[in-house]
C-alpha cells in the first residue's frame, strides 16, 4: 500500500502542488474535475431515469444552444442588472445609515432593535406584500434585493465603526480635524474591512434573494429560467442555471470581493486572516 | 513657544457601580513656562492621565481653567499636540501621510505638506520609512512617528501620555534620549505624564508629584543638557533627585 | 435584573414603532388592502391561534427545519472533520464546498421539487442543502485552523483516533462549526420561506403567499411578525449565546 502512496505523492500530488504554485487558478478548477467525472458516470449508469439526472454533456450542449439563441445572455444580464441596481441602492443607504447608528448613541439605542427585527423577518417574507403594492415587476424585485443587501451592510458598518480605536478619533482631533473630517478621514477607512465583509455577505444574500424573487415573480432571469424549466419538466436547464449561478458568484466572490477584503484588512494589519 | 497654565482644575464624575460621585482631581494649579519640560508623576490612579485628557480637550473639567498663553481652551485642537501611549497611528495611511495629516487638516497643499513631513521625518531619522505602513514598523519606530506627527503640526504645547510605556526597555532609553535631543533643539513646551520616576527626572526640568488629586510636590531638576543615559546613570545628582522624587511618590 | 433591563431597552424602540404604525394608519386613513391596522392584525392573530392554523403552519415549518438541520449536521460534521484532518485533502476539496455553499438553499428549489415533488421532501432537501454545505465548509476550516502542535501534543500523550476526534478536533473546531450552523440556518430559514411559497400547502411561507391572493394584508403582516419573532428567538436566544459560549469560554479568537 505504501508503494502506491509513494507513487501517488511523487508522480501525481507533488506535480499538482507545483503546478498550482505557478498557476493558482488551477486550485479552483482541478478539484471539480473528479466531481464532473463522477457526475457523468452516475448519469450514464442511469440509477435514476435520464430525465431526472442528465449528464454534463447535455448540460454543456444546452449551454451552447441557449447562448446561441440569445436566451442565456439576456437572462443573465437581466439578473445581473437587477442585482447591481439593488446592491447600489442598498449600499447608498446602508453605509450612511451604518455610520449614523455606529457613531451616535441615541440612534443606536433607537434603531438597533428595529434593524435586528426587520433583518429577522428576512427579505423573502416581504414578497407577498410587495406584490400587492407594486405588482409583478422590476420594482418588487429591486426592493427585495435592496432590503436583503441593506442589513448585512448596515450591521457590519456599525461593527466596523465601533471597532475603530478611540485614540484614533482623539489623535485626529488633536491634529486639527473637525468632527466631520474625523468621520471621513478616520471612521470610514477604519471601518472599511468590516464594510467589505458586509458587502460580501450582503451580495451573497442578495444573489439568493434575486433567484427566489425571479422564481416566484419573474418574467426573466436565471431564476425564472430554472423555474420555467421545472414547469416544463426539463432538468437540463435547471442544472445549467444552477451551474451558471454558482460559477458566476464564485468568480465574483473569490476573485473580486475576497481579494478586496483581504487587501484592505490585511494590508493595514487590521484583520487577522487564517 | 507658548505657556500652559492650569488654574484650580477639578474633575469629578459619577461612578455607576458605587453610586457615588468620585473626585479624580481636587485642585490642581500648574504653570508651565514657554519652552519648559514638565513631567507629572504619581502612583497609579492618581489622576495624571485625567489631567492630560483635560488639557488635551478630550475631557471637560468640572471646575477650573486651562489656558494656553492666557487664552482659555476647550475641546481638542492643533494647538495642543498629543502623543498617545497606544501610538494611535492611522493604519491605512503611510508614515508620510500620517505625519502630513495635521497640515492636511489645515488645508496645506500636497507638495508643501509632504515636503514638510519629509523634513520632520529626517529629523527623527525616519526617512527610509516614509512609504511604509504603521503595522510594518516596530513599536519604537511607530512611536517615533507618533512624536514626529504631533511636532509636524507646530503645536503650541506638546502633551505626552506615558508615550514610552508600550515599548521595550532598551528602545525606551533610546527614545528618551531622542526626545531630550529634539526638545533641546526646538524648546517646545511639554507636559509629560509617566509613572517611571527615572524617566521623569531624565527628561524634565521640573517634576510634579501628584497625589490624591492634588499637587503634592514640585521638584526642580537642575541637571545640565544635553542629557544621556551613559552620563547620568551613575551621576550623583541624578541619583539624588531620582530618589527624592521616588520618596515623594511613595509617600503619596 | 440586567437581562430584564436590557430586554426592556430592546423592546422600547419596537413598541414605539408599533405606536407609530397605529398613528399612521389612522391619520392617513390607509386602505386596509394596502396596509392593515393593528386591530385587524391582532384579529387575524387571534383567529389563527383559535382555529389552530397558526400552530399548524409554525409546526410544519419548524419540523422541516429541525429535520433538515439535524440530517445535515449528522452528515456534515463528521465529513468536515474527516476532510479537515489532512491539509492536502482539505485544501483540495475546499473549492468544491465553497462552490456548493454559494448555491445553498434557494437555488435548489426548482430541482428539489422535480426530484421530490411538492411538499415535505423538497423543502427538507432545500434546508438540508443550505445547512450541509456551509457546515461542512466551516468544520473543515475549523479543523485546519487547529494548531498542529496541539494535535501533536495529544498524540504524544497517547490519544487514539477516536479520542483525537472527540477531545481535540471537535472541541477545537467547535467555534467554527457553530458559526457555520448559524450561517447555514440563516440560509435555511430564507430557503424555507421561499420554498413554502411555491412548493407546499402548509407552513409560514405558504400562509403568507396564499393570503396575498385574497388581499388579506392583516394575515400577511401577522405572518411576517411571526417569522421575525421566531427567527429572533432562534438566533438571539439559541445561536448567538452558543457562539459566544464556545469562543469566549475557551478564549479563542476568530476573525469576525
Question: 0.80 exceeded by the pTM?
Answer: no
- Intervals of chain A under pLDDT 50: 272-274
Q: At what angle do helices A235-252 and A56-69 cross, to 10 degrees?
A: 80
Chain A contacts of B76, Cβ < 8 Å? 170, 173-174
- The per-residue pLDDT for B197 is 92
Q: What is the tally of structural domains in chain A? A: 1
- Intervals of chain C under pLDDT 70: 1-2, 247-256
Residue A46 lies in a domain: no
Residue A9 lies in a domain: no
Residue A274 lies in a domain: no
Residue A141 is part of a domain; what is its CATH number? 1.10.3720.10
For residue A189, give its domain range.
Answer: 58-267
The C-alpha R_g of chain A, in whole angstroms, comes to 24
- The per-residue pLDDT for A272 is 44
Q: Report pLDDT digits (tens) over C43-88.
A: 888 888 888 888 889 999 999 999 999 999 999 999 999 888 887 7
Out of B56, B106, B134, name the one closest to residue A176 (CB): B106
Chain A contacts of C105, Cβ < 8 Å? 208
- The per-residue pLDDT for C255 is 34
Residue A132's Cβ-side half-sphere holds a number of Cα atoms within 13 Å equal to 24
Q: Report pLDDT digits (tens) over A190-249.
A: 888 888 888 888 888 888 888 888 888 877 888 888 888 888 888 888 899 889 888 888
Q: How far, in Å, CA of C160 to CA of B46, rounded? A: 56
Residue A261 lies in a domain: yes
Q: How far, in Å, CA of B184 to CA of C203, rounded? A: 79
Out of A175, A190, A270, name the one closest to residue B153 (CB): A175
- The per-residue pLDDT for C252 is 52
Please count the other Cβ atoms lying within 10 Å of the Cβ belonging to residue C34.
12
Nearest chain A Cα distance for residue B100, angstroms: 10
What's C119's DSSP letter? Answer: S
Q: Do A170 and B82 touch (CB under 8 A)?
A: yes
- The per-residue pLDDT for C256 is 32
Structural domains in chain C, sorted by start: 49-249 (1.10.3720.10)
- The per-residue pLDDT for C198 is 84
Q: Which residue of C has its CA nearest to A110?
A: C13
Q: Which residue of A has its CA nearest to C183?
A: A201
Q: How far, in Å, CA of A30 to CA of A17, rounded? A: 11
Report residue B14: phi and psi, to 5°. -95, 125
Walk along chain B (252 residues) and give the pLDDT tens digit of each residue: 789 999 989 998 887 777 788 888 888 999 999 999 999 998 877 788 899 999 998 888 998 999 998 889 888 888 899 998 888 888 888 999 999 988 888 888 999 999 999 999 998 889 999 999 888 899 999 999 999 999 998 999 999 999 999 889 999 999 999 999 889 888 999 999 999 999 999 999 999 998 888 888 899 988 888 888 988 888 888 999 899 899 888 887
A226 lies within 8 A of chain C by CB: yes
Interface test with B, best of A166, A169, A171, A173 (most B CBs within 10 A): A171
**What SS3 class is residue A50?**
coil
Cell of C25: 394608519
Residue A82 lies in a domain: yes
Amino acid at each position: 500500500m505504501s508503494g502506491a502512496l509513494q507513487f501517488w505523492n511523487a508522480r501525481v500530488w507533488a506535480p499538482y502542488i507545483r503546478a498550482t504554485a505557478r498557476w493558482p487558478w488551477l486550485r479552483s478548477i482541478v478539484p471539480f474535475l473528479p466531481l464532473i467525472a463522477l457526475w457523468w458516470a452516475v448519469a450514464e449508469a442511469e440509477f435514476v431515469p435520464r430525465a431526472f439526472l442528465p449528464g454534463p454533456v447535455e448540460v454543456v450542449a444546452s449551454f451552447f444552444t441557449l447562448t446561441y439563441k440569445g436566451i442565456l445572455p439576456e437572462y443573465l444580464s437581466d439578473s445581473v442588472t437587477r442585482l447591481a441596481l439593488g446592491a447600489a441602492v442598498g449600499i447608498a443607504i446602508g453605509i450612511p445609515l451604518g455610520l449614523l447608528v455606529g457613531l451616535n448613541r441615541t440612534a443606536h439605542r433607537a434603531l438597533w432593535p428595529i434593524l435586528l427585527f426587520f433583518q429577522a423577518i428576512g427579505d423573502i417574507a416581504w414578497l407577498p406584500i410587495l406584490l400587492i403594492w407594486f405588482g409583478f415587476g422590476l420594482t418588487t424585485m429591486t426592493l427585495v434585493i435592496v432590503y436583503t443587501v441593506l442589513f448585512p451592510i448596515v450591521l457590519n458598518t456599525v461593527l466596523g465603526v465601533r471597532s475603530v480605536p478611540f485614540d484614533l478619533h482623539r489623535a485626529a482631533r488633536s491634529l486639527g480635524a473637525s468632527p466631520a473630517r474625523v468621520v471621513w478621514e478616520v471612521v470610514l477607512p477604519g471601518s472599511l474591512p468590516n464594510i467589505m465583509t458586509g458587502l460580501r455577505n450582503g451580495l451573497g444574500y442578495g444573489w439568493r434573494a434575486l433567484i427566489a424573487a425571479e422564481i416566484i415573480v419573474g418574467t426573466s432571469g436565471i431564476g425564472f429560467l430554472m423555474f420555467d424549466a421545472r414547469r416544463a419538466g426539463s432538468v437540463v436547464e435547471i442544472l445549467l442555471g444552477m451551474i451558471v449561478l454558482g460559477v458566476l458568484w464564485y468568480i465574483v466572490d473569490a476573485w473580486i470581493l475576497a481579494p478586496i477584503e483581504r487587501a484592505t484588512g490585511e494590508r493595514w494589519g487590521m484583520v487577522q486572516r487564517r | 513657544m507658548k505657556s500652559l497654565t492650569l488654574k484650580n482644575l477639578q474633575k469629578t464624575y459619577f461612578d455607576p457601580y458605587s453610586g457615588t460621585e468620585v473626585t479624580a482631581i481636587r485642585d490642581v494649579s500648574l504653570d508651565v513656562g514657554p519652552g519648559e519640560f514638565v513631567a507629572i508623576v504619581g502612583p497609579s490612579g492618581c489622576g495624571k492621565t485625567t489631567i492630560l485628557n483635560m488639557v488635551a480637550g478630550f475631557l471637560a473639567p468640572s471646575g477650573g481653567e486651562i489656558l494656553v498663553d492666557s487664552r482659555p481652551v476647550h475641546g481638542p485642537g492643533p494647538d495642543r499636540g498629543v502623543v498617545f501611549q497606544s501610538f494611535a497611528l492611522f493604519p491605512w495611511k503611510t508614515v508620510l501621510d500620517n505625519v502630513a495629516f495635521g497640515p492636511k487638516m489645515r488645508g496645506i497643499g500636497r507638495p508643501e505638506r509632504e515636503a514638510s513631513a519629509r523634513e520632520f521625518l529626517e529629523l527623527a531619522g525616519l526617512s527610509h520609512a516614509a512609504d511604509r505602513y504603521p503595522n510594518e514598523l516596530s513599536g519604537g519606530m511607530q512611536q517615533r512617528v507618533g512624536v514626529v506627527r504631533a511636532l509636524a503640526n507646530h503645536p503650541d504645547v506638546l502633551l505626552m501620555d506615558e508615550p514610552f510605556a508600550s515599548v521595550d526597555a532598551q528602545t525606551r532609553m533610546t527614545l528618551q534620549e531622542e526626545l531630550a535631543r529634539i526638545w533641546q533643539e526646538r524648546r517646545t513646551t511639554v507636559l509629560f505624564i509617566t509613572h517611571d520616576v527615572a524617566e521623569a527626572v531624565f527628561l524634565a526640568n521640573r517634576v510634579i508629584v501628584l497625589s490624591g488629586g492634588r499637587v503634592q510636590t514640585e521638584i526642580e531638576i537642575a541637571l545640565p543638557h544635553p542629557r544621556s543615559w551613559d552620563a547620568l546613570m551613575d551621576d550623583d545628582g541624578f541619583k539624588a533627585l531620582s530618589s527624592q522624587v521616588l520618596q515623594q511618590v511613595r509617600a503619596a | 435584573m440586567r437581562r430584564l433591563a436590557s430586554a426592556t431597552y430592546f423592546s422600547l424602540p419596537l413598541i414605539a414603532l408599533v405606536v407609530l404604525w397605529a398613528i399612521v394608519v389612522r391619520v392617513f386613513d390607509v386602505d386596509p388592502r394596502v396596509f392593515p391596522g393593528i386591530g385587524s392584525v391582532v384579529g387575524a392573530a387571534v383567529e389563527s391561534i383559535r382555529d389552530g392554523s397558526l400552530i399548524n403552519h409554525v409546526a410544519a415549518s419548524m419540523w422541516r427545519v429541525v429535520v433538515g438541520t439535524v440530517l445535515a449536521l449528522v452528515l456534515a460534521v463528521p465529513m468536515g472533520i474527516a476532510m479537515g484532518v489532512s491539509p492536502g485533502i482539505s485544501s483540495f476539496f475546499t473549492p468544491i464546498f465553497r462552490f456548493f455553499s454559494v448555491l445553498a438553499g434557494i437555488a435548489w428549489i426548482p430541482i428539489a421539487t422535480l426530484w421530490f415533488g411538492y411538499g415535505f421532501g423538497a423543502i427538507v432537501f432545500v434546508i438540508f442543502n443550505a445547512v450541509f454545505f456551509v457546515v461542512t465548509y466551516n468544520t473543515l476550516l475549523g479543523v485546519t485552523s487547529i494548531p498542529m502542535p496541539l494535535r501533536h501534543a495529544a498524540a504524544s500523550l497517547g490519544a487514539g483516533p477516536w479520542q483525537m476526534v472527540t477531545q481535540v478536533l471537535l472541541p477545537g473546531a467547535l467555534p467554527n462549526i457553530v458559526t457555520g450552523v448559524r450561517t447555514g440556518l440563516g440560509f435555511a430559514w430564507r430557503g424555507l420561506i421561499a420554498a413554502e411559497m411555491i412548493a407546499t400547502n402548509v407552513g409560514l411561507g405558504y400562509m403568507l403567499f396564499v393570503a396575498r391572493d385574497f388581499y388579506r394584508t392583516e394575515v400577511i403582516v401577522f405572518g411576517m411578525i411571526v417569522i421575525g419573532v421566531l427567527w429572533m428567538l432562534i438566533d438571539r436566544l439559541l445561536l448567538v449565546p452558543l457562539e459566544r459560549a464556545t469562543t469566549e469560554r475557551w478564549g479563542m479568537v476568530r476573525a469576525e
